[in-house]
Amino acid sequence: MEIYRSIQNLFRFGTSRFDGPALYGIFFLFGMGVVVMYSASVIPAEREFSDSNYYLNKQLLWGMIGIFSFLVFSQIPYQFLVRWSFLFSVFSLLLLISVFIPGLGKSVGTSYGRSFNRWIQIGGIQIQPSEFSKISILLFSSYFFYNFDFKKVKWDRKKIVSVLLIFATLVLIVIEPAFGTTIELLLVLFFFVLLAGFPMKRLFILGASVLPLLVVLVTQVGYRKKRLEIWLDPYKFRFDEGHQLVTSFRAFFDGGSFGRPVGSGYAHRYLAYSHTDFVMASFVEDFGFLGFFVFLTAVVFLFLRIYFLLLRTKDKLGFFLGSGILILFGFQTILNLFVITGIVPVTGISLPFLSYGGSSLITIFILFGILANITSKENLVL
């Protein structure tokens, strides 16, 4: 009888203040992420720090901070966050600028001859501002487009400043460079423009006019051009830059239907970033396509559950913001899976809840905390 009631609750809404099935989905993915990340990180941690639990301990610490952040933001009315989103965005912009300040920003050189400026180093803590900028952009742009009437456009000083702030944030993220994050945010902005009522035909014409710029950014920038060449023929570069993608392919092949003994596969020993962007390759090697299917089922369930909750929100602003967060989560997950399977060129994009990294994990917990507040019982039409 209890099992029957539990199954019934999966199809009910508003049975508690915060939706139980959605919470189960969030923490199931995080728990899976801890197991997967630990398996993938044992060998790199032992090799780099002589401590096989190094990455696990740090991920658990960030996970606790993330869960605490989730609880805090689930209690803060999203209307309050949106109201102060301009200040959050200005602060986020300052953080993005600080990555280029010597002594504060951390620059990492690459084999392509390009330096990446994505992090701020404060003592022993490393922060990635572009991750936290997702929060400010979502809050600020949802409020901006919610109040924007394309039928009666009046470009006052407030609107111009708002557009310049969003544009400056995107430019700084591109310069870092964090191209994958830029694409994510552009997709969310595209979605907000659609929701705000901009004519679809004109929007696609505008999008098509931007394509040449994107082509130039991909084909004329050294490291992106190299990544494109690797993507087109990874086996040609399998002994250098293409090794990462080829090893990911092998992990999927070796994993088979049910996986190999945990932590014993080739990818665990030789796959670069096996516990960060390519963590799913190590996961499939351990648990096979059965494990991959379980992961996809959990993601699709969480996505659909929150989607149906958002359809019941009383406030259009809440629907705007919540939909933006959901689109970001869905697209980031799909993009990461497309990268590791070779469907799109390699770009630095983490897998939500599973990839190692404090900034990305805390950010996704904060965003889902905001979603929990938007979809809380008092904000739903039942």
**pLDDT value for 220:** 57
Report the run of H or E that residue 299 belongs to, with start and end: helix 279-310
Round to whole Å and give the CA distance between 329 and 334: 9
For the stretch 180-223, pLDDT in tens is 888 889 889 888 888 877 777 776 776 677 677 666 666 655 56
Question: pLDDT at position 13, please?
Answer: 77
Q: Is the peptide bond before 261 cis (omega within 30 degrees of 0)?
A: no
Q: What is the pTM of this model?
A: 0.92
User: Domains of the chain: which residue ranges?
Assistant: 24-375
- Residue 261: other Cβ atoms inside 10 A: 7
DSSP-derived secondary structure letter, 265: S
Averaged pLDDT, 264-278:
84
Q: Count how many residues are written for the chain.
A: 382
Residue pLDDT, tens place only, 316-345: 899 999 999 999 999 999 999 999 998 988
- Cβ atoms 45, 341 nearer than 8 A: no
Q: Provide the token pair at 270.
A: 């030789």
Distance CA 373, CA 150 (A): 29
Note the pLDDT of residue 112. Answer: 52
Which range (107-111, 205-209, 246-250, 256-260) has the least confidence? 107-111
pLDDT in tens, 114-131: 567 788 887 777 889 999
